[in-house]
Structure 1
Amino acid sequence: MKRQNKRSNFERALTIGTWLVILLVWILATRFENFSSTILPSPQQVWSAFIRIVREGYNQISLWQHLGDSFKRLFGSIFLAMITAIPLGLLSGFFAKFRAIIDSIVQFYRPIPPLAYYALLILWMGIEDGSKITLLFLAAFAPIYIACVAAVSSINRDYILSAKSLGASQKNIFLKIVLPAAMPDIFTGVRTASGFAYTTLVAAEMTAATSGIGWMVIDASRYLKSDVMFVGIILMGLTGIAMDGMFIYLERKLIFWKGKE
């Protein structure tokens, strides 16, 4: 236990040290090199821009509304993807006939970049949140569905056969064997899907939006406001880390049997 604690502390120190080095290189590059602030703003300029946006907002919209609009689209789409992809993926992995119906549709659209059909969604649904949430839903659906199918396929068949030999019904086998065994892979799929959805969200907001972090970055780029762009990019990274940490925390609390035989 002590050895594991020492190792985790050392790894944490390495992580902190890495970011301190990056910050130091950034400070030195802006102080001693002939970089224009338009190309590479200093950390002080980015911090001042962040404080200004927190106090005054950006383009008469508060920072919290930008964040709120982005996360409303993101979490709404992930929730819709979870409540549809998880049952469909589990059923497809458990029943071959069901998989024959659903799998080909998912495999057809999965390799297509989401922005390739975003123009169609805008034509059908307009530039409001409906088209963005649909786009993010499609981006998140496939990773969750595939993770569920793979999770069911990797379950030890001896468990299922043993349950059948003891008279367990298909429903009990599904709820008490298949679902608990698949949950760790399902959470991994949800984490992966949330990353895909976040990157797609930024691209969607850059294409057609009037608010959101992605829109803030692209709007600032039109006016060469590099400090605002850096604020938006850093916020995306930090919120992405926080979101992934939330999923890891939930996984540890809810899937406590992961890794245990």
Structure 2
Amino acid sequence: MLPEYSKRPPAPTLVKMRSFGIGEGSTVPISVATGLAILFLWWLLAQSGWVAHLFLPTPAEVITMAQSIWDDGYANATLWEHVSASLARILSAAAIAITLGIPVGLLMGLNRWAKGVLDTPIEFYWPLPPLAYLPLMIIWLGIGEASKITLLTLAMFAPIVLSAQAGVRALPMERVNAALSLGASRWQLFTQVVLPSALPEILTGIRIALGVGWGTLVAAELIAANRGIGYLIMSASHFLATDAVFVGIAIIAVCAFGFTVAMRLLEGRLVPWKGKN
């Protein structure tokens, strides 16, 4: 019989931690199934005759109209001319809003004078619907591209500024004190501590701003434009071409989804630590 000290201790029991929230599993299959269910419900309602095809065309009719617009264009312009006009406006305004908004937001987060001076005008116009001051843009700048791009820039500027400011405000003081105790200069503190810590909030603000920008863009094109996806939808609505309206909505959805995917890839590249604290 072996002595007591020579016996092996029992193997430890491993306990799997319970997941919290959405867990680690992919939500892609759920999203795909939800999309297919929506398409099936749409097809069922259109085929059942409960809703007239004038108001709810079938998916097949929408696909046929999409092919027609692809081949022949719509509203005196090709499909690419409509899409490129909208993309040029949204990208130009986004570039201006990002270039101006990030420095302003960082400055407001770091300097109380900058926050005191700039916070009032931004908080004043930010809750206003962009269409409320669209007539003012048209009066000041005309119905050309300048008024649309200015309107879009204003719509996207505030979310970017506020997100950059929030990112700076959320910076733990322990990181700042640790960097200063190690002899970091002000520039090193900003570039290596403040900016990386605020970057997740900034990227989230840009995603929100792009969503606001798309809604504002289509509304602006409904009023004063002769090219663009919004103009295509408005022209189709005048002739009760509901299938063409659905095509325009689908184009907006595809473009906005592409922007969202691009921003998520950018977040994964620039802030891989986000959500893993």
- When the two structures are superposed, what TM-score results if normalisation uses the length of structure 2? 0.88
Which whole-Å CA distance do the structure 2 matches of 1:210 and 1:194 have between them? Answer: 22
Q: Which structure: larger Rg?
A: 2
Q: Which residue of 2 aligns with 1:162?
A: 178
C-alpha displacement of 1:112: 1.2
Shift in Å at residue 25 of structure 1?
A: 1.6
Residue matched to 1:60:
76
2:274 maps to what in 1?
A: 258
Q: Note if 1:80 corresponds to 2:96.
A: yes
Tell me which stretches of 4 or more aligned residues in structure 1 moved more than 4 Å.
Answer: 3-6
Matched, 1:192 2:193: no
d(CA) in 1 for partners of 2:110, 2:164: 10
Which amino acid in structure 1 is aligned with residue 45 of structure 2?
A: A
The alignment partner of 2:25 has SS state of helix
Alpha-carbon shift at residue 163 of structure 1 (Å): 2.3
The percentage of counterpart residues that share the same residue type is 38
Report 1:75-154 matches (<5 A). Answer: 75-154=91-170
> What is the CA-CA distance between 1:260 and the residue it aligns to?
4.7
**CA distance in structure 2 between the aligned counterparts of 1:160 and 1:12, rounded to whole angstroms:** 39
- Structure with greater proportional helix content: 1
CA positional deviation for 1:249: 0.6
Shift of 1:241: 1.1
Equivalent residue number for residue 85 of structure 2: 69
Question: Partners of 1:14 and 1:63 in 2: how far apart?
Answer: 32
Write out per-residue CA displacement over residues 98-124 of structure 1, whole angstroms, 9 at most, x where no aligned residue: 211211111111111111111011011
Determine the C-alpha separation between the residues in 2 that align with 1:108 and 1:28: 47
Q: What is aligned with 1:35? A: 51
Secondary structure of the 2:74 match is coil
Give, in angstroms, the shift of residue 162 of structure 1: 2.5
AA paired with 2:88? K
- How far did residue 34 of structure 1 move? 4.3
Gaps of 5+ in 2: 1-18
1:62-96 deviation line (CA, Å, top 9, x unaligned): 10110000010001111100000100100110111
Superposition map of 1:226-245 within 5 A: 226-245=242-261
Summarize deviations over 1:36-60 as a string: whole Å, max 9, x none.
Answer: 2211111111000000000001122
How well do the aligned residues superpose, as a CA RMSD in angstroms? 1.7
